[in-house]
């Protein structure tokens, strides 16, 4: 997989807008768990992106707290080396055959039936 360099910039006091998960202490790679819409990370990072570098430091042997410290100590600009995770955008996926259940249609039918007690 191809590595990508991502530069984030923020105004002082503004959060980066992403949630970090993993680390050596969790026996998993560091990755992006969640992005806050409208934040500096929005449009730059995506959930599932693997973070393999913070600044000039590789993350393979970093604990979660060490990675957190590197990000916090970066000031108002930080560089990540990432490997893109799978896309979470499913808007272009269409069914290949007939849809067997439509919640909208089911709810509409339920509302039209009279209630008999």
What CATH number should be reported for the domain holding residue 29?
2.30.42.10
Domain count, the chain: 1
Q: Which helix (H) or strand (E) holds 109?
A: helix 103-112
Residue 75 lies in a domain: yes
User: 32 and 18 in contact (C-beta within 8 Å)?
Assistant: yes
Question: How distant, in Å, are the alpha carbons of 12, 20, 75 from that of 48?
Answer: 27, 10, 24
Per-residue pLDDT of 40-58, as tens digits, reads: 999 999 999 999 999 999 9
Q: What is the mean pLDDT of the chain?
A: 86
Does residue 16 form part of some domain?
A: yes
Number of Cα atoms under 13 Å in the Cβ half of residue 112? 6
- CB distance 80 to 51 below 8 Å: yes
Strands of the chain, DSSP E: 3-9, 18-23, 28-35, 50-54, 57-58, 77-83
Q: Is 105 inside a domain boundary?
A: no
Indicate if the pLDDT at residue 117 is higher than 50. Answer: no
Whether residue 116 lies inside any domain: the answer is: no
Q: In this structure, is residue 109 part of a structural domain? A: no
Task: Round to whole Å and give the CA distance between 73 and 66.
Answer: 10
The answer to the question of residue 56 being in a domain is: yes
Structural domain containing residue 81: 2-87
Q: Determine the Cα–Cα distance for residues 97 and 94; give it in Å rounded to an integer.
A: 9
| Full-model pTM | 0.72
Q: Residue 46 domain-assigned?
A: yes
Share of the chain above pLDDT 90, in %: 70
Instruction: Supply the pLDDT for residue 85.
Output: 80
Does 32 fall in a domain? yes
């Amino acid at each position: 997989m191809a590595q990508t360099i991502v530069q984030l910039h923020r105004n002082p006091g503004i959060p980066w807008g992403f949630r970090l998960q993993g680390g050596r202490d969790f026996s998993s790679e560091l990755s992006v768990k969640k992005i806050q819409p409208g934040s500096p990370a929005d449009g730059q990072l995506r959930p599932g992106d693997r973070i393999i570098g913070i600044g000039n430091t590789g993350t393979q042997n970093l604990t979660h707290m060490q990675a957190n410290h590197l990000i916090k100590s970066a000031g108002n600009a930080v560089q990540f080396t990432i490997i893109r995770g799978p896309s979470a955008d499913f808007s272009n996926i269409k069914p290949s055959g007939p849809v067997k259940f439509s919640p909208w249609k089911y709810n509409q039918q339920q509302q039209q039936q009279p209630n008999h007690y």
